[in-house]
Structure formats: structure tokens, C-alpha cells
Amino acid sequence: MIDLHLHLDGSLSKEDFIYLAKQEGVDLGKEFPSNIYVPEDCPSLEVYLERFALPGELLQSKVALKYATKSLVLRLDKLGLIYAEIRFAPQLHTLKGLDQLEVTKAVLEGLEDGLKEAKTITANLILCCMRHASEEVNMETIQVANKLKGTRVVAVDLAGAEKLHPSSYYAKIFNRAKEYGLNITIHAGEATGSDEVMMAIDNGATRIGHGVHLSLDPISVRKVKDHEVCFEFCPTSNLQTKSLPNYESVPLREFMKHGIDVTLNSDNMTVSNTDVVKEMSIMKKTFKLTKDEIRQLIETSIDNSFTDVKTRHHLGDLLDERIDKFYESL
Ligand SMILES: [Zn+2]
């Protein structure tokens, strides 16, 4: 199994919260642990995003960032993942004096520590710019990604409330990312429509976070295919943010029928109370996916991952070995 869309701060375990709260001197609140999951009656993406305040408070030191990243990698390994791209916004972890480069290096260290102890998984990092942030702060994120090219930092992203801040505002930032030759994925078409996806593609995104509201008219489909864009679906998260009404409305089959690259991911393991194996299982049951279709979804994840060719080949071999077991486990 592979997860290409997974946020570090949305995926701390309950045990991580308890450990880090003690270490960092943070009060978890009277409602803990129910306040770490999305509320059942969550009305919107904006309310969903409020669940990131507490993990944000906990992840303000190098030690905490390292610890949380290592813990996540080891949990993913245990879950049977062969590859993951973990994303986070360095700018959200600078409240106690770290700069974005220091934040990213701490996460890199935690990642390396985790990978050393892990049995199978390999993983890389994606740095998120934030829609609410200033151009200067987001530009720093791009600079950090460029400085750390050649490490496990493999791409940049844009996250946050898209209704309030459309992708067109970020052309300058992503032009710089393009100049640097950075891989780009952008959250788009989650809370808004197809126009936002088109703008994200204009900004250089070759992967779209969610994108479920892409219109499948011939012009949009042509553009998506011409730019070889891949979509990172996260079904449970979409239901919680009211982006989609139910699992049946996930446009998985429609995208596949149009020959558009689509993958399944978790978004946030804790906030959404899920993981990529669960997401795969739910989609298998909802759409009666065959073994070949499950295989195709994982192959699409491998082909569109931001890792090197050698790792992609290795992941292909692992998939060959494990597909029967994967399918049976769903
Ligand atoms: Zn996301």
C-alpha cells in the first residue's frame, strides 16, 4: 500500500499527544482524546482545519518534530505500507523560534531515524505553503525546498482554505518553484470547483490534492491529460469536510473511465480517524473493485510518486510480490 497524501500534524497517534504534551508542557484540554478527531457533525473544511491547532502547539521544537515523524514512519511500516510521502508546513512550526530550515531538518532527521528501524517502508517529504500566509513566508518554504533538493524533500504543496484564497494568488511563488525545478502538488477542487484545479495546473502542479470537483468536460479532461496530472483522492476526509455527501459520490470510476490518473490516500490518519488501507477497503466495497483495479491504483501511486526511478522499480517489485496479500487484506 502507498500513501502519497498524508499530513504529519494530522496523523499524531493518541500516545504521541500524551507523550508530547508532557515533554512540551501543553495542556491537552478536558475533552481529550475526542478533541483530536474531527467532530461527527463537522460542517465544513474550515471547521475540520481547526483540529490542527492542538498538534500545531505540540510540534514547536526540534525534539518534538523528530519524535512525531519517527513515530509516524514506524506506524506506517507496521501498517504494511511500502512507500509514503509525508507532508507538513514548516512555517507552522516556527512559533518558538525555529526557522523553516531548522524545522525541516528536524523532520528529516526523524524520518531517517524511523526508516533505519522500519522493516520495509521508504518515505519522502513534501513541504506545504499555506494559503493564509504572506508571500514572503511561502517564498521561504520554496527556498528551503530548493536548498534541500537531493535529500528526502521531494516536492512543494499549497494547503489551507481554498475558498478564501484561490490558487491564482500564488503564481509568483510557484513560478519560482518551477524555476528551481521542484515537483509541485496543490490542494485544489476540494472545497471549490474545477476552475481551482485548472489554476493549480497553470501553477505547475502535476498532482492535485483531492480535485474531486474537477469537471469531466472534454476541455478539462484534455488539459489534465496533456499535463499528465494525477489526483490524490482522500474519500473519508472529503465526507468529513462536506466536500462530498457520501462514498458513492467519490468520482473514482468516472476518473478511471476517462483514463485520468487517480490514487487513494488518507489525508490525516488521526483527524480523519483513518489510514490508506481503510480507504482502499472502503472504496473496494463501495465500487466492487477487482484485484486488477486495486493493482492499477497502487501502480498509479508508484508512477506518480516524486521518488527516483530506482525506488519506483523497487516499489514495482514489492507490489508484484504483495498484491495478492494486499487484496485479501481489504
Ligand atoms: Zn491534505
DSSP for 47-105, please give it.
HHHGGGHHHHHH--SHHHHHHHHHHHHHHHHHTT-SEEEEEE-GGGG-TTS--HHHHHH
**CA–centroid distance, residue 185 to ligand 1 (Å):** 10
Q: Enumerate residues with CB within 5 Å of ligand 1 (an ion).
A: 209, 267
How far are the Cα atoms of 6, 25, 48, 117, 141 from residue 99, in angstroms, in the given order? 23, 21, 27, 28, 10
Q: Is the pLDDT assigned to residue 45 strictly greater than 80?
A: no
Q: What is the pLDDT of residue 266?
A: 98
**CA–centroid distance, residue 145 to ligand 1 (Å):** 18
Catalytic residue status for 136: no
Percentage with pLDDT > 70 across the chain: 100
How far are the Cα atoms of 9, 79, 89 from residue 107, in angstroms, in the given order? 11, 21, 11
- Residues with Cβ within 8 Å of 69's Cβ and at least 6 positions away in sequence, in order, are 8, 86, 106, 107, 109, 110, 111, 113, 114
pTM beyond 0.85, yes or no: yes
**CA–centroid distance, residue 4 to ligand 1 (Å):** 10
Residue holding cell 521542484? Answer: 182
Q: Among 85, 190, 196, 232, which one carries the catalytic annotation? A: 190
State the average pLDDT for the chain: 95
Domain assignment of residue 279, given as a range = 2-329
Task: Give the count of domains, the chain.
Answer: 1
**C-alpha 148: how far from chain center:** 19
**CA–centroid distance, residue 187 to ligand 1 (Å):** 6
Domain of 145: which CATH number?
3.20.20.140
Chain segment 70-110, per-residue pLDDT in tens: 999 999 999 999 999 999 999 999 999 999 999 999 999 99
pLDDT bin (cut points 50, 70, 90) of residue 39 is confident
**CA–centroid distance, residue 140 to ligand 1 (Å):** 20
Q: What is the pLDDT of residue 275?
A: 98
> Which grid coordinates belong to 197?
484545479
HSE at residue 46, side-chain half, CA atoms within 13 A, is 7
* Mean pLDDT (whole number) for 16-39: 94
Chain segment 166-210, per-residue pLDDT in tens: 877 899 999 999 999 999 999 998 888 899 999 999 999 999 999
Q: What is the pLDDT of residue 47?
A: 79
